[in-house]
Amino acid sequence: MSVLVTGGAGYIGSHVVRLLQERGEQVVVVDDMSNGVADRIGGATVVEVDLASDAAPALLGSAIAAHDVSAVVHFAARKQVGESVAKPARYWHQNVGGTANLLQAMEDGGVGKLVFSSSAATYGAPATAVVREDGPAEPINPYGQTKLVGEWMTRAAGRAWGLRAANLRYFNVAGAGWPDLGDTAVMNLIPIVFAALAEGRAPVVFGDDYDTPDGSAVRDYVHVHDLAAAHLAALDHLEADERPFDVFNVGTGVGASVLQVLAEIRAVTGVDVEPEVRGRRAGDPPQLVADVSRIRDTLGWSARRDLHDIVASAWEARPGAR
C-alpha cells in the first residue's frame, strides 16, 4: 500500500514525502511540476499531471490502482492571495476543480482517507486576536474561499460515500526541515526578504497602519518541519473510529509581526534590514493567530520550533548557501 501526495515535489509536500519515507511508507507523488523540484522527493514514484485538467481523473485512477493507494495528502493548489484577487477564475478552476477531480478518483478507486491542505485564509479578518476552528469562517479573498470550499467538498464526500478527512488550516509556514528542502518559490515573507537582501534591495513591508502593536500585520509562523509532522499525525488519526473533528488549526499559538520577523532576520544574518513601507495589499487581514488546543488535545501534536528556528533554518537553506 502507498500514500499519494499531490503537490509532493513542492516546498511543504516534499517535507511530508520525506517524513513518510523515513517511517517506511511507499509514496506516489502527483505534481504538475510548475513549482515542484523532482530531486527533492527521493525514490518516490512521480505522476506528472495537472489536477484541474480533463485527463486528471483517469490518470489519478490509474495511479491509485497501480500503486495500491490507501490514503491521500492533497497539497496541489495555487496559493497567492494577491494573485487570487486579480485572477479569481483561475483560482476557482485550479483549486476547486482540482480537488473535485481528486475526490472523484478517490471515490472511484475506493480510497477513503484524505488529509487536505487548507488555510487560515478561511477565517478572513477575524474579530478576535486568536482564532478557533469553531469560529466564523468568512474568507476575504478568492484563495481563502477556494480552501473553504475544499473543506466543504471533503465533508460532503464523507456524507455521500464515507470519506474520512482531516482539513488542516495552515498558518504562515516557513523555515526548512533539511537544508536541501528550502522554500524555492519567492512568495512568502522570509524568502522574499532574503531575495531582496541578496540583490541589495530594501525588503517591502505592506502596511504599517494596522491595528497591531507596531502597525504591521501579525501572523502565526509555523516551522515547515512541524507542519509536516502534523500531516502524519492527521493521517494516523484517520484510522480511529471516533473522530469528533475534521478541521484543525496548525500553528504555534504565538503571533509575530512583519517588523518582528525582520528584526529576527537581522539578528540571525547580521545584515541590516531596513524596509520600504508601502500600502496594504488587497485581501490581507491585520492579524491571524491560531488557537492550537484542538490539534494538541485531539492529535497530540504541538509545534516544537520557534521563530528563531524558522529564520535560522531558512537562512541555512537559502539559494547559494550550500
Q: So which residues are the catalytic ones?
A: 143
Determine the Cα–Cα distance for residues 158 and 112; give it in Å rounded to an integer: 9
Give how far Cα 33 sits from Cα of 8, 9, 36, 51, Å.
Answer: 9, 7, 4, 11
Max CA separation in the chain (angstroms)? 56
- C-alpha grid cell, residue 109: 478507486
Instruction: Return the closest-CA partner of residue 284 out of 190, 207, 182.
Output: 207
Instruction: Return the closest-CA partner of residue 292 out of 240, 254, 235, 239.
Output: 254
Backbone torsions φ then ψ of 235, nearest 5 degrees: -60, -45
Residue pointed to by grid coordinates 516546498: 11
Residue pointed to by grid coordinates 515547515: 224
Strand 45-48 and strand 164-170: the pairing is: unpaired
**Three-class DSSP category at 178:** coil
DSSP one-letter string for 31-66:
E--SS--GGGSTT-EEEE--TTSTTHHHHHHHHHHH
**Three-class DSSP category at 27:** strand
Determine the Cα–Cα distance for residues 320 and 290; give it in Å rounded to an integer: 33
Any idea of the CA torsion for 116, 156, 145, 174, to the nearest 10 degrees? -10
Instruction: Return the closest-CA partner of residue 225 out of 177, 172, 288, 168.
Output: 177
| Residue 52: CB atoms within 10 Å | 22
